[in-house]
Amino acid sequence: MRPNLAIAALALLAAAPAACAQSSSQPADLPAPTDSKVDTATFSRTVASAGQFEIESSKLAQGKNVAADVKDFASLMVKDHTKAGEDFKAALEQSQTTASVTPSGPALLPKDQAMLDQLKTLDGDEFQAKYIILQTEAHKQALALFSTYARSGEDPALKEFAKKTLPTLRMHEERIKDLVAAHS
């Protein structure tokens, strides 16, 4: 349990320089992308699945024997990612894409389903440690995806959604760092 948190803390520290690295030609509020471009269909599928994973895993956390600050974080994830899902649905309705995504109840991508399945088998300290690690990784990936699409996305409505969602994702990342520090 403690080694997993230490690994998560090291992963955050290792990723920090890359997340902060920016070229002078990029807007200051967008982190450097990991990929130069994300197509709209991939962005849409990934956003729908990742959002659903955040909600479902955080609902699990609310019902588990975990620390109060972890439950508070889980409640925030359910609230914020439910709102993001509504915003995403509205952006899809305005978008020019023909991506077949049903944001009201998307199927989880295999990676997200596997992470959720892992969490379902755990409780207490084991659940808490794994939840924090998975939230750390999920938000790191979300920040990379959203910042890349915000910068180079093809669909104006989805690009605007990505830009508007980034500050919330950054705040989540900060809250996760606080959880890692508090539970390591």
CATH number for the domain that contains residue 79 = 1.20.1260.10
Q: Which domain holds residue 124?
A: 2-7+38-182
Count: domains in the chain = 1
H-state helical runs in 21-155: 40-62, 68-94, 110-120, 124-152
- What does the pLDDT read at residue 107? 80
- What does the pLDDT read at residue 21? 35
Q: How confident is the model at residue 3 (pLDDT cuts 50, 70, 90)?
A: very low
If phi > 0 it is left, if psi is from -120 to 50 it is alpha, else beta; for residue 153 that is beta
Would residue 159 count as lying in a domain? yes
- Single pTM value for the model: 0.77
Would residue 15 count as lying in a domain? no
Q: Indicate the SS3 state at residue 3.
A: helix
Residue linked to tokens 């975990």: 66
Share of the chain above pLDDT 90, in %: 72
Tens-digit pLDDT profile for residues 39-97 = 999 999 999 999 999 999 999 999 999 999 999 999 999 999 999 999 999 999 998 87
Tens-digit pLDDT profile for residues 112-135 = 999 999 999 999 999 999 999 999
